[in-house]
Structure 1
Amino acid sequence: MIEFINVGKTYPNNVKALQDVNLKIDQGEFVAIIGLSGAGKSTLIRCINRMHDISEGKIIVDNVEVNSLKGKEVRKFRQRIGMIFQSFNLVTRISVLKNVLVSFVPELPYWRKITGIFSKEQKIKALTALDQVGILDKAYVRVDQLSGGQQQRVALARTLAQNPDIILADEPIASLDPVTARQVMDDFKKINRETDMSVIMNIHHVEIALEYADRIIGVKEGQVVYDGKSTEVTDDVLDLIYKGKVEEIQSEAEERYNV
């Protein structure tokens, strides 16, 4: 379980990226975070694995207070969390398989890191992950020979190989065409259902978020202004997230829940 307790994040230039965020996300949920550019979506995701440190409050993941971890504890914690970026973050001059094997580097003994030699078990895990996302036949192809959608699947396979509890995805389909985007989203949904991994995704494509995610979190001006089932998101809710002012949203929420 992931829990945000009164979380705030202020950048050195005094920009408040997150304000008083309170959330609970259970294991196995598929959550889409939506909102305008600059609303705080990426910051919210990146605070979970300590890519960004919070300024106030607490983030707790499976009873571990994330913001209290130090040094090796942070690195060990991050091994449980897969991170997928819009830019794929792949080494394009080497093979697909070698890119997936990179996920095992942190746990390798020093001599294996130097020689680049991976165990048979690690290679089987990497190939299995490629099979899960449907590109096993590309294992020995150079990454720069793949399409954008195939490269995103390599990034997903690399994450799966480390067997995380949580997958964080920061705009994973932003640079993909509509058909390829849905293929990649199908992979996320399949993995979520078959492995019970939590998927938390920052996404601009609202219609795709509503179609694939079970839960929608709307963020505006660093605040969570909607948190509920995707099936309950109406045009009025979207107008509030994307057009309304925070004061309006809070007022409507109070009326709705008789606060």
Structure 2
Amino acid sequence: MIEFMNVEKTYSNGTTALRNINLKIGQGEFVAVIGLSGAGKSTLIRCINRMHEITGGTLIVDDVDVAKLKGGQIRRFRRRIGMIFQSFNLVTRTTVINNVLVSFVPELPLWRKWTGLFTKEQRIKALEALDKVGILVKAFVRVDQLSGGQQQRVALARTLAQSPDIILADEPIASLDPVTSRVVMDDFKNINKAMNISVIMNIHHVDMALEYADRIIGIRKGEVVFDGETSKVTPEILDHIYGGKWAEERASLQESVAEQLPAGGSSLYV
């Protein structure tokens, strides 16, 4: 489904973000990309939907050479790939269902875009997507009245409404507390298994990656230094991925989780 062949990414300022990336990701896989901040994790997943242009090698998604797409081809290609951000990217002053319906705007005729009128089928599909992430009861509530976890689930429903083959998630639980993070990760896992949608997730919380993903890709300084089944990840491998700094990274994660827990709480997450 997705194949990186000697992919390189160098920014205009001369910074090399990716070096010699060779990966194959099959349909229906749940892949977590881990590594230190600045290692190239976000760049890797954003190349898949061409939010970032590669500067070397070849990137193939379902037999499509991504770098060769132009204009409308890029827009149509991106319809098949859902993108979830840490910041949710929702319009907070309108309702939940209106935020999900936004996913249909690119395919509307011009007169519907002007009037904001969606078809009955589109509204039903939006409601079905909200039901899949367990937030249907909030369909007509304003987004700014929801918790952070609920807002992330709205963002996930908006992505599901476009019927993607792939979901890319860029630190989707970074701003959520541990309990809410688990709820959102459950949604990702259920969707991955029930709908056979590939999930490629850049995630800082290694514990969650090991619990939910089937496969771990470790990135260090723009290079893949580990690629294998989650069950094969050891403390030694984590130390290799994190350049000998896994102990410090783990301590930082523990401190971050502890700060988000209520007084007297405990965490099972790190």
* TM-score (ref. length: structure 2): 0.90
Give 1:231 shift: 0.5
2:189 matches 1:189: yes
Structure 1 segment 218-257 matched on structure 2, within 5 A: 218-244=218-244
How far did residue 52 of structure 1 move? 0.3
1:35 corresponds in structure 2 to 35
Letter in 1 for 2:60: I
SS of the residue corresponding to residue 24 of structure 2 reads strand
Q: How many Å apart are 1:35 and its aligned residue?
A: 0.1
Name 1:204's counterpart in structure 2: 204
> 1:204-230 deviations in whole A, cap 9, x for unaligned?
000100000000000000000000000
User: Per-residue deviation at 1:166?
Assistant: 0.1
Amino acid at match of 1:13: N
Instruction: Name the CA distance, whole Å, in 2 between partners of 1:152 and 1:81.
Output: 17
State the Cα distance separating 1:241 from its structure 2 match: 0.6
Which amino acid is 1:69 matched to? L
Q: Distance in 2 between matches of 1:114 and 1:58?
A: 39
| 2:213 equivalent in structure 1 | 213
Q: Distance in 2 between matches of 1:202 and 1:47?
A: 13
The amino acid across from 2:119 in the alignment is S
Q: Could you tell me whether the CA contact under 8 Å between 2:220 and 2:243 is conserved in 1?
A: no
Distance 1:144 1:186 in 2: 23
CA distance in 1, matches of 2:243, 2:75: 39
Q: After TM superposition, give the deviation of residue 243 of structure 1 in Å.
A: 2.3
> What SS is found at the alignment partner of 2:39?
coil
- Aligned mates of 2:64, 2:13 — CA distance in 1: 30
1:202 maps to a residue whose letter is N
Report how many residues are paired: 245
Amino acid at match of 1:175: S
Q: Residues 67-86 of structure 1: CA distance to partner in whole angstroms, max 9, x if unpaired?
A: 00000000000000000000
Q: What is the alpha-carbon distance in structure 2 between the residues aligned to residue 163 and residue 47 of structure 1?
A: 20
Question: For residues 75 and 131 of structure 2, what CA distance do their matches in structure 1 show?
Answer: 27
Q: Report the TM-score, using the length of structure 1 for normalisation.
A: 0.94
Give the drift of 1:188. 0.1
Unaligned runs of 5+ in 2: 246-270
Match in the other structure for 1:158: 158
* Distance of 1:136 and 1:229 partners within structure 2: 35
**2:252 corresponds to which residue?**
none
Once residues 98 and 213 of structure 1 are traced to their aligned partners in structure 2, the CA distance between those partners, rounded to angstroms, is 31
- Paired amino acid for 2:8: G
Q: Which runs of 4+ in 1 moved over 6 A?
A: none
User: Is 2:99 the partner of 1:72?
Assistant: no
1:85 paired with 2:92, answer: no
Q: Does 1:57 align with 2:54?
A: no
Question: Can you give the 5+ residue segments of structure 1 that lack an aligned partner in the other structure?
Answer: 246-259
AA aligned to 1:169 is A
Deviation at 1:12, TM superposition (A): 0.8
Task: Indicate the residue corresponding to 1:256 in structure 2.
Answer: none
Question: For residues 90-129 of structure 1, what are the structure 2 equivalents within 5 Å?
Answer: 90-129=90-129
Distance in 1 of aligned mates of 2:12 and 2:62: 30
State whether structure 2 residue 22 is matched by structure 1 residue 14: no
How far off is 1:244 after superposition? 3.8
Code of the aligned partner of 1:31: V
